[in-house]
Amino acid sequence: MALQLHDSLSRSLRPVTPSQDDGVYRFYNCGPTVYAAAHIGNFRSFVVNDIIRRMLELEFGADKVRHVRNLTDVDDKTIRRAREEKRPLTEVTQEWTAKFHADCAALNCLIPHVEPAATDHIPEQVNMIQVLMDKGNAYRAADGSVYFKVSSFDNYGRLSRVKERELKAGSALEAGNTGKDTSSVDADEKEDGTDFALWKAWKPEDGDVKWDGPKGTFEGRPGWHIECSAMSKKHLGATIDLHTGGVDLLFPHHENEIAQSECCNDTEFAHHWYHSEHLLVDGKKMSKSLGNLYTLDQLKEMGHSPVALRYVLLAGHPRKQLNFMLSSLTAAEKALQTLRGFRAAIANQTGDPAKFDGVFDALRDDLNTPAALGALFGIINRGTGDADAATFDRIMFAIGLDLTPPAETIIEIPADITALAEKRWAAKQAKDWPAADVLRAEIITAGWTMKDRKDGYDLEPSRQ
């Protein structure tokens, strides 16, 4: 079975194949906006993309995959953050980029081949906007901003099936079920409500964040969507094999990218579109207002490991909303232990690679990670038999689970606890069971767990 992925444009499962003669598969994954720590929902999409990357490597070879993921380092949010903290924009974005990289590493994500930043590609974006203006697909508004003229692109709305972006009677906004502030939406200067910004003229609140714009426009900065069009073209070419991101990017972001790129390049932008679904927390989308937003650091502070989070993210189908619960992390830690135990049990054993075919089949079938995990445990439950260690490791590579046991944390054991443990051990050696039991109870009360071995014991702090 060949690798197949769902394609959002045709809404069907389509095989994944390189379209260019060099056999290199090119894919672009919309990356983070670096203004704060990414939350675990963001990481769901990056982990899913990491599995795509890994599956592509297994499918075509590591040297036949080109993976690009951008960094959005200039937009309203980054600028606001810098202004609030009275720091230069680059200082803020570099800080959060470093944090993002650290989190990705902790989650065992492979590093993209290219990680272009928007601010490093201003000329490319300006050029693209220039072309669009020259072709009549974009216009300059009175304030010097440039907008894309949606009506100039017939295919607009094909991806999202949203033909009109205007507010209609009965829309969410009209219905009043929104408390969001729409005053900052740059609607004033647009010829049509559906048009979107390619270039945003400088405003006082932008501070020193500004660049020269296309000819005849004012200083300013690029709109959000254009960076992906420009950077994808620069690093992967006018037509790419796959473009990915979270569902929320489907509209307007990806719809707009298609419009810009296809009008500019006169060729298909992406052969294949893949969108991962949202991670929900306690049944709702994460949001600061609901207070159900978690970062990797927060989970670590609660004593959970990044691998456990990765496992939890794998436990749901990537294209289905996944309901995250903290208890899932505990379940994941246990499952991971089983995996580690199995791996240790088969050590360097060789066996029948075909034994694990079901796991790879599930993965190749639109990245069905939960089914793959199910198949894996099904095999594990039938015993170590002729399990092939190398094949097992390939599975771990594919889903990116690092089974290396978490580094032994050095824990200071208080002297009084050690003393109690020594006394109990002595009582046990003397077969004075009542005394031993009393001492065990005392140790437990003190918050520690004494685990006996044949030749000694271990002490661990009791988990809350």
Partner RNA sequence: GGCGCGGUCGCCAAGUGGUAAGGCCGAGCUCUGCAAAAGCUCUAUCGGCGGUUCGAUUCCGCCCCGCGCCUCCA
Q: Which residues pair with 324 in a beta bridge?
A: 281
CB nearer RNA, residue 72 or residue 130: 72
CB nearer RNA, residue 18 or residue 209: 209
Given 12, 84, 182, 288, the residue binding RNA (CB under 7 A):
182
Q: Are strands 25-29 and 65-69 parallel, antiparallel or unpaired?
A: parallel
The single-letter code of the amino acid at 423 is K
Given 5, 28, 45, 230, the residue binding RNA (CB under 7 A):
45
| Rounded CA separation 402/406 (Å) | 10
The single-letter code of the amino acid at 129 is I
CB of 158 to RNA, least distance (A): 11
Detail the DSSP E strand segments found in 263-419.
273-276, 279-281, 284-285, 322-324
Structure tokens at 401: 């689970």
Q: Which residues pair with 244 in a beta bridge?
A: 29, 274
CB of 252 to RNA, least distance (A): 6
| Rounded CA separation 348/7 (Å) | 39
Q: Is 159 in the site for RNA (CB under 7 A)?
A: no
Secondary structure (3-state) at 256: helix
Stretch that binds RNA, among 58-66, 74-82, 112-120, 395-403 (CB under 7 A): 74-82
- Interface with RNA (CB under 7 A), residue total 94
Secondary structure (3-state) at 327: helix
Stretch that binds RNA, among 63-71, 126-134, 180-188, 234-242 (CB under 7 A): 180-188
Site string for RNA, 272-291 (x = CB under 7 A): ----xxxxx--xxxx-----
Q: Is 328 in the site for RNA (CB under 7 A)?
A: yes
Stretch that binds RNA, among 88-96, 229-237, 329-337, 391-399 (CB under 7 A): 329-337
Given 9, 18, 27, 42, the residue binding RNA (CB under 7 A):
42
Stretch that binds RNA, among 56-64, 243-251, 394-402, 413-421 (CB under 7 A): 243-251
| Rounded CA separation 119/23 (Å) | 31
CB of 411 to RNA, least distance (A): 16
| Rounded CA separation 17/69 (Å) | 20
Mapped to the 3 state alphabet, what secondary structure does 422-457 carry? HHHHHHHHCCCHHHHHHHHHHHHHCCEEEEECCCCE
Residues 372-391, interacting with RNA (CB under 7 A): 373-375, 377-378, 380-381, 383
Q: Is 71 in the site for RNA (CB under 7 A)?
A: no
Q: Is 213 in the site for RNA (CB under 7 A)?
A: no
Residues 416-435, interacting with RNA (CB under 7 A): 428, 433-434
Q: Is 115 in the site for RNA (CB under 7 A)?
A: no
CB of 188 to RNA, least distance (A): 12
* DSSP assignment string, 202-236: --GGGTT--B--STTS-SEEE-HHHHHHHHHHHHH
| Rounded CA separation 218/210 (Å) | 10
Given 86, 180, 288, 463, the residue binding RNA (CB under 7 A):
180
Given 13, 62, 111, 173, the residue binding RNA (CB under 7 A):
173
Number of Cβ within a 10 Å radius of residue 410: 5
